[in-house]
Amino acid sequence: MTQSYDADVAIVGFGPTGVIAALTLAKNGVSAVALERDQDLYPRARAVTVDDWTMRIFQDLGIDERIEKKIEPQRALRWITYDGTEIMRVDRPLSSLGAKARAYNIYQPTMEAELRAAAQEYGRRLTVHYGARVTGIDQDADGVTVTSTDTTTGETRTTRARYAIGADGGSSATRSAAHCRLLGDTGDVTWVVIDCRVKRWWPDRDVLTFWSDPQRPVVDIALSAGNHRWEIPLKPAETPADYPTAAEVWPLLEALGVTPDDVEIHQHAFYQHHTRMADTWRRGRVFLAGDAAHLMPPWAGAGMQTGMRDAHDLGWKLARVLTGELPESWLDTYEAERRPNAAFYTRLAVDLGRVITQQDTDTHPPLNAPPALQAGWLRGPVGDTSLVGRMIPQPSAGDTTGRMARLDDLLGSGFVLLGDDTDPADLLTAQEKAGWDALNARYLAVRPKTAHTRGPDELVDLDDVLLPWLRDHGVRAVALRPDKFVAATDVSGLAVPA
């Protein structure tokens, strides 16, 4: 009996994680249908930043330039006390990943609207049903059936897909239907988040400031498009009922020296911080991503971004499995790679929270940690002395026809082996090359800009970045995955990872 599917993949939830999943699947040639409970975009700004790793994902999806117009570079971060003592400061370095800045301030509703606009351009390959509340998820050996109810008409719809992704947030219906448990804790402190429209500039407005204090720590951050946010904890005797309107909120800002001359309060809401992770991110053909899989405090600015990275990792693998380019066993690498990364950023957020609340004034967490994988589809040791699991830097490069572009634009979206002034295929055994050929890998020699190219399969290191990067680690060749992470080097062996 021939199966009939509405799409290759059903996505439950169409927030940032769901949109990136949908864009990644569609870009890689498979169809997706998204089911979103809300009719309209969520109006509150939750996430506040994206970095150059996330921008590189946007670049892969062909949307980085349009997103960049909606966000603004972030200059620096600082931790200070109310008497003006600076505990720690981090000036944002230049990006090595091809973005114009290391980090950006965002206004989430504006950025998310642009992401959804990009999704609309995929036409029939990507369908979104808004106002669809998912009430059931059932799977069998051949696919997944998602049942939803139209929140306006009450009509029931069933959607049949080969796989499903739950990107439906912390209260995920997908997680419940898949019988996954969310483990961890919720903080006992309630925070008021105050979003404001800027009316005039003030000194250091563009520096993300953490007011460190054991009683009343504050996050003070510029958002893009003329918005600004403060996040302030309520005291033990206070409740959200004490702050029903902006009039009651104003004294909190005035205590920081903020006046109605500076801003207009746009909205305020109350949150508690969660440190939780699902016991498993997959049940058969159903996967969890983003807040459905993990929840973390906001201090590292990584919650939304971790979800988008989940979606991109899962998306390019699912697409290649569905098109027959990769075996189904590749899907086992999703949680193996993404869980350790989510755990890293959760620990980082917790550590930063301890600095902000002055529980720990001696720790200096690694705010500029480069993108890295600790496990998964890799060959060889990972760590500071190895390139395995690292994302390759992205300088400007040239090809043999004289074209100059960012590296990723010349590498394409498949598997690639790069050699230091040599054809990397020459470093492979016949068996190793057969393994990479089965993945349709390209083999490119990277030449210095001081030399002539010699053949069609070459790149030129215009910024003198790639060749020193390889040589600093004693590496002659690297094998890259489609997401631009190093899967293997000649130091540990260039055979296709298991």
User: Which domains does the chain carry?
Assistant: 7-73+100-183+275-356 (3.50.50.60), 184-274 (3.30.9.10), 396-489 (no CATH)
Burial readout 236-272 (b: 16 or more C-beta within 10 A, e: otherwise) = eeeeeeebeeeeebbebbeeeebeeebbebbebeeee
User: What 3-state class would DSSP assign to 16?
Assistant: helix
**Given pLDDT bands bounded at 50, 70 and 90, which one contains residue 46?**
confident
Tokens standing for 268? 């305020």
- Span 276-316, pLDDT tens digits: 999 999 999 999 999 999 999 988 889 999 999 999 999 99
Q: Is the confidence at residue 92, as pLDDT, over 90? A: no
Find where tokens 């998602």 sit.
146
Beta strands in 339-452 (DSSP E): 396-399, 404-406, 416-420, 442-448
- The chain-wide mean pLDDT, for the chain, equals 94
Tokens standing for 179? 């019988």
Which strand (E) or helix (H) includes residue 207?
A: strand 207-211
**DSSP 8-state symbol, 234:** P
8 Å CB contact between 442 and 457: yes
User: What 3-state class would DSSP assign to 425?
Assistant: helix
Give phi and psi for 11, each to the nearest 5.
Answer: -115, 120
Q: Among 81-95, 130-144, 164-178, 362-376, whose mean pLDDT is lowest?
A: 362-376
pLDDT at 68: 97
Euclidean distance between CA atoms 266 and 367, whole angstroms? 30
**Given pLDDT bands bounded at 50, 70 and 90, which one contains residue 364?**
low
Q: Among 138-147, 185-194, 336-345, 359-368, whose mean pLDDT is lowest?
A: 359-368
Note the residue count of the chain. 498
8 Å CB contact between 310 and 293: yes
**Given pLDDT bands bounded at 50, 70 and 90, which one contains residue 325?**
very high
pLDDT at 362: 64
- Span 426-472, pLDDT tens digits: 999 999 999 999 999 999 999 999 999 998 999 999 999 999 999 99
User: What 3-state class would DSSP assign to 27?
Assistant: helix
Q: Which percentage of the chain shows pLDDT scores above 90? A: 82
> Which stretches of 245-332 are DSSP H helices?
246-254, 303-322
pTM above 0.85, yes or no: yes
Average confidence (pLDDT) over 416-424: 98
Beta bridge partners of 204: none
Collect all residues with Cβ–Cβ distance below 8 Å to 260 and sequence separation of at least 6. 199, 250
Tokens standing for 328? 């189904």
pLDDT at 360: 63
Beta bridge partners of 264: 197
Find where tokens 């500029």 sit.
368
Burial readout 349-379 (b: 16 or more C-beta within 10 A, e: otherwise) = bbbbbebbbeeeeeeebeeeeebbbeebbbb
Burial class (CB in 10 A: 0-12, 13-18, 19+), 333: buried
